[in-house]
Structure 1
Amino acid sequence: MAAAQIAKKLKDRRQRQTLVEIFKKIDKEGNGYISLSDYFNIFTEHEIDLSENEYKRVLGMAGPDGIIRKDDFIKIIRSSPYFFGIFDKNKDGVVTETEMTTRAELAFKALDKDNSGYISEKELTKLSSRLTDEDMGVILKKFDVDGDGKLSFEEFRMMLDRNASKKKKNNKK
């Protein structure tokens, strides 16, 4: 009996720690709170439609100013079977940062071989063997918004989002 309680406490502590890390990742300014749109964007980034019930539930749990503080974020997540149903991929009752990683983040990490936080033109060539160096140069020039000769994660995600939009458009024709 005591062992089961200890295991549950460890699992709860591990889950809280993971949720704090996820919150920090969303709270880009580091001000201790996120907006409702930041929260809903979690689902958008994973291409998941939020159910109307979950949307209303979160609206009701957020502060009257539409702000979600860290502890509120943890309460919202912990009380959401919807969230766990989507993100707890191995069904162990704990949502990990890995389970919350988007396809774009996985692709970016796979290409960023030197873990610099950027994708260089050389690393970008690993994207496809069918594209020439000239093609890669054009892609880099088009999506390298700040002109530093490499793609940040945001620039890379913009490139993927644009590609996904084109595919959706072509599939509707």
Structure 2
Amino acid sequence: MPRPKMYKKYNLPTAEPQMIDREFTDTELKAFRDAFRMFDLDGGGTIETHELKQVITQLGDNPTDEEIDDMIIAVDTNGDGEIDFEEFLALMRLRMGESGDDAETHLREVFDMFDADGSGCIDRNEMRTLMKKLAQDLTEEEITLIMDEVDTDGDGEISFEEFKMLVIK
């Protein structure tokens, strides 16, 4: 049976996700967990079709609804039509396994999702928005504490290097 068009475009093998032998580092897992929470818009513990489309679009692609459906089918081991965190990790394994991308590349993709204005840094407003998307309703004082701790050079913004240090902690 020929591979659907989506598999070719997104480099997803037809093998079952559990057959992809790829372990993630703690840094990768934390970054993926944060990304998963950010795009689990309703906080239900799964990424639905429309949420997955947002994730992929944020990563710089513009998939069709059919391609999104195919992605879900590729990793949806329980058949509920949604992606839970384990299935999300399977999707990331497939993407990384085929492309050869390393952790830093994917960490950069996560950083770029948080850097809403594309400035190359996460400012206070983007941090506030990020925390809300991660279901962390923080006070201004708590935002300031995070910014002060992570912003090691004191410029009021979080660079990619500073973000990496935050994720590694």
TM class by shorter chain equals 0.3 to 0.5
Q: TM-score, normalised by structure 2?
A: 0.44
More relative contact order in 1 or in 2 (CA 8 Å, sep 6+)? 2
Larger Rg: 1
Q: TM-score, normalised by structure 1?
A: 0.43
